[in-house]
Structure 1
């Protein structure tokens, strides 16, 4: 796995320690983009820093604890009991602040690359490819800026299906410390994202990008289509989402990772050990000495992912009950050391990356998501036959046969529930569950699915209605304190800083 080496000027972690406002980013003695970037290689180093800053672990941790993916582990020392597990969410919550700040940090780094690139003149006399590298680096910066804005929209927008609703702060330049902006509308943010992705697709050279970031660790034209498909889905634009999925190749040429006859030869298991990349569209590389946002030893366990590795959290009873013994996903979601009794169920999805325990690459887009996006498009059109076909396309691979296939739904609610149930299993501990319940929980007739015995020590809290205000995150208090023009999301009041 590659080691992202970052220029000092982009390692502005002090942004979050010494600056409360996500857009208050200029520090004394800080090098400006125009002064920093002089060559294409400088831009590449800056891009390395942006990739290393992409958040992932914070979203996965919040989602798994706040919904129904975990229970208290045998070595839990109180982690989560006074916060996510108890559905505590307000403008002082660390989860909301982390997601807000980390994505604006990514946007900030992307904007600095875009601004600095104006001062760089490619030199094709080097090897004849400097211009292509320049364009591809710039395209990736635009893609990452779009991704950062989309992540923020997914968690903070009042209603992603309403273009007039409030979104987040649009940031397409490097601002001064005096800038204090209100939130833009969804339509304005989505227009920027669309523009950024259009630029990225027109200027990205897949071959060059693949050379920069191997094993699906960098942007690609397929990743751009996948982001467009997810964005259209979240906006309720189902036909548009399906069109992007079909451009990627669903169902025709899609190849899912096979189950395999044993754990050792299963492509699916190898995908989560970061040794097989066939099914991945885009992932975030994590290494021991990278500047990633955190490793999972901080969340799931103290020592390792086994039953004796001091797990702070374990796979919830409700999720475990969804995982059939013949489904290969059971041996990945739950560490194999839990079999056969499963009395202790450590999270197994990030057990190791190559040879490093408790460190796994973050899978952002996978082929199976594209299949289930297609299923949602069919459900929206009451095409229940194709809903079953898409769900079973995944299940037949994960089971290795048709024994786990579902019947064709007979009602709209059955169709949506089948999709939501499949997403729950397929994307367990990948950061989807919170947004999935928020998006289609009402259509599926599903709320948070917890077993009370898993949460006795946190008051037995097992339900959060899908119309609760906490299905969108609050604007963090630090942002409110530094930016009097920011508007808070409904339900969280207008608490003063």
Structure 2
């Protein structure tokens, strides 16, 4: 493999730290992009390394604890009680540093491969694959920049507000870069999307392989980004075609003896690769990779006897605690049924790698497309239309057929606020433990007159039951490591 993995996985502790000592000396054995990447085959192998840098687990963990997705578990020994569960968030907190570094690591991996590709001259027969590899790197780079904006931008709807550091090159060790404006970061993201439009071909069968980025993922991410920017008309572009292309996975009619649904919707999170799967893009987790995701929430395993540090919160559980809602069997591990007195997190408990507890990480699914459409319609004043899209998701999760009516909600009596709250609530249930709740409350909390929703019993240990929606902690601080290493970086307000 020409030691490509060594090149890709050597990442500095801080991306932009200054250093002018021995590491600036070129060592005889050093692998530069010119040496590591000499053929298209090298690039193909290197692309696997770029995908290995794509992560979402740290975002999911932070979101689940800081908002209202979990409560103290039976085996909690103090985990989270002096941090996320207490709304403690500052520059020295581990979560901002982890999210910042992991996304810039992915950007760094992508930029290194793109730089190496400049030294490769493909044959005519290899040209399409060569372009496709670069396009995949650029989409992953764009996604990482957008992830960073989602958590660190001062205001995603304001192009002139400070965003993050836009990086489309491999920085030198002495570069100390200031934050770009949102507009500048969006411009880089859109340029990567435009390159993908021209070059991201169906070199592999992405109609069934949802672990590689595709044009559909690019267009779905465009819609999500436009929505977060408050550009509703732009978010609607290509959306109807995507909704048609990714029909909702049905709950299914198969019910286990304990009352849990284990049909198609359940199978989507258990990596069964269903032909009609609504997944647009997910991160594949394999043996030897990042480890078993359940260990964020439990000591031994995700079952009721697996010593859970955290359990599904009372308020979240109540949103799906009906005899018909198939999401209960996914959000809460099936070992909790039928009593549900202990409620371990169950969304990542299975895999298809011949090893239990190695579930893939969903990044974009068809249900989110319906919620984007609902927000577009709500913003336009079509409240019934918005509720219709919310109910499309509820219908699929509460019925064994697409014509069922169980779980369908009426138009709220309190108008627009009620509709925005219905959208927010349904996103909470449907996208639980997928890393959205923190961002959703930041975006929609004021419109829905809602914020963190913790049951009194869940927060009685410290009385940290809610957080005002205008609190500065709905924007993450620039991490301390970056502040100490980069004199040009600017901190977010309130920290």
Query: So what's the TM-score if we normalise by structure 1?
Result: 0.92
Within a 5 Å distance, the mapping from 1:60-139 to structure 2 comes to 60-124=60-124, 128=125, 130-139=126-135
Which ranges in structure 2 are unaligned for 5 or more consecutive residues?
256-260
Kindly tell me: are residues 220 and 392 of structure 1, through their superposed partners in 2, closer, same or farther at Cα, counting changes over 3 Å?
A: same
Listed one character per residue, the Cα deviations across residues 135-154 of structure 1 (whole Å, up to 9, x for unaligned) are 11010011011011000000
Q: Which moved more, 1:427-436 or 1:47-56?
A: 47-56
**1:57 touches 1:295 (CA, 8 Å); kept in 2?**
no
Asked whether 1:317 is paired with 2:314, we answer yes
Q: Tell me which residue corresponds to 2:250.
A: 258
**1:352 touches 1:359 (CA, 8 Å); kept in 2?**
yes
**1:474 touches 1:489 (CA, 8 Å); kept in 2?**
yes
**1:33 touches 1:116 (CA, 8 Å); kept in 2?**
yes
Q: CA deviation at 1:9?
A: 1.1
**1:152 pairs with one of 148, 151, 154:** 148
Asked whether 1:486 is paired with 2:484, we answer no
Q: Which moved more, 1:137-146 or 1:257-266?
A: 257-266
Listed one character per residue, the Cα deviations across residues 181-215 of structure 1 (whole Å, up to 9, x for unaligned) are 11000000000100111101210112x1437x963
Partner-residue secondary structure (3-state), 1:90:
coil
Q: Tell me which residue corresponds to 1:195.
A: 191
* Aligned-partner Cα distance in 2 for 1:491–1:440: 21
Listed one character per residue, the Cα deviations across residues 106-162 of structure 1 (whole Å, up to 9, x for unaligned) are 0011111111111101134xxx3x211111101001101101100000000000000
Listed one character per residue, the Cα deviations across residues 381-424 of structure 1 (whole Å, up to 9, x for unaligned) are 11011111101111111001212011123511011001000000
Listed one character per residue, the Cα deviations across residues 270-304 of structure 1 (whole Å, up to 9, x for unaligned) are 001011351100000001212x3x53233111222
Partner-residue secondary structure (3-state), 1:376:
helix
Q: Tell me which residue corresponds to 1:330.
A: 328
Q: Tell me which residue corresponds to 1:279.
A: 278
Within a 5 Å distance, the mapping from 1:350-361 to structure 2 comes to 350-354=348-352, 355-361=354-360
**1:301 touches 1:312 (CA, 8 Å); kept in 2?**
yes
Q: CA RMSD, aligned part only? A: 1.9
Kindly tell me: are residues 20 and 6 of structure 1, through their superposed partners in 2, closer, same or farther at Cα, counting changes over 3 Å?
A: closer
Listed one character per residue, the Cα deviations across residues 238-261 of structure 1 (whole Å, up to 9, x for unaligned) are 11112231242x3x4541111111
**1:296 pairs with one of 275, 280, 293:** 293
Listed one character per residue, the Cα deviations across residues 352-399 of structure 1 (whole Å, up to 9, x for unaligned) are 112423221110000110010000000101101111110111111100
Q: Tell me which residue corresponds to 2:235.
A: 241
Partner-residue secondary structure (3-state), 1:176:
coil
Q: Tell me which residue corresponds to 2:435.
A: 431
Q: Tell me which residue corresponds to 1:445.
A: 449
Partner-residue secondary structure (3-state), 1:424:
helix
**2:111 touches 2:169 (CA, 8 Å); kept in 1?**
yes
Q: Tell me which residue corresponds to 1:349.
A: 347
Listed one character per residue, the Cα deviations across residues 6-65 of structure 1 (whole Å, up to 9, x for unaligned) are 62211115x22xx46479898654422223210011111111111011121000000000
Partner-residue secondary structure (3-state), 1:71:
strand
Q: Tell me which residue corresponds to 2:381.
A: 382
Q: Tell me which residue corresponds to 1:173.
A: 169
* Aligned-partner Cα distance in 1 for 2:155–2:50: 28
Kindly tell me: are residues 318 and 99 of structure 1, through their superposed partners in 2, closer, same or farther at Cα, counting changes over 3 Å?
A: same
* Aligned-partner Cα distance in 2 for 1:10–1:253: 35
**2:248 touches 2:278 (CA, 8 Å); kept in 1?**
yes
**1:340 pairs with one of 338, 356, 360:** 338
**2:212 pairs with one of 210, 218, 236:** 218
* Aligned-partner Cα distance in 1 for 2:31–2:4: 15
Which ranges in structure 1 are unaligned for 5 or more consecutive residues?
493-497
**1:300 touches 1:311 (CA, 8 Å); kept in 2?**
yes
* Aligned-partner Cα distance in 2 for 1:373–1:343: 34
* Aligned-partner Cα distance in 2 for 1:237–1:295: 38
Q: Tell me which residue corresponds to 1:419.
A: 423
**1:20 touches 1:478 (CA, 8 Å); kept in 2?**
no
* Aligned-partner Cα distance in 1 for 2:246–2:417: 27
Q: Tell me which residue corresponds to 1:495.
A: none
Kindly tell me: are residues 232 and 133 of structure 1, through their superposed partners in 2, closer, same or farther at Cα, counting changes over 3 Å?
A: same
Q: Which moved more, 1:300-309 or 1:133-142?
A: 300-309
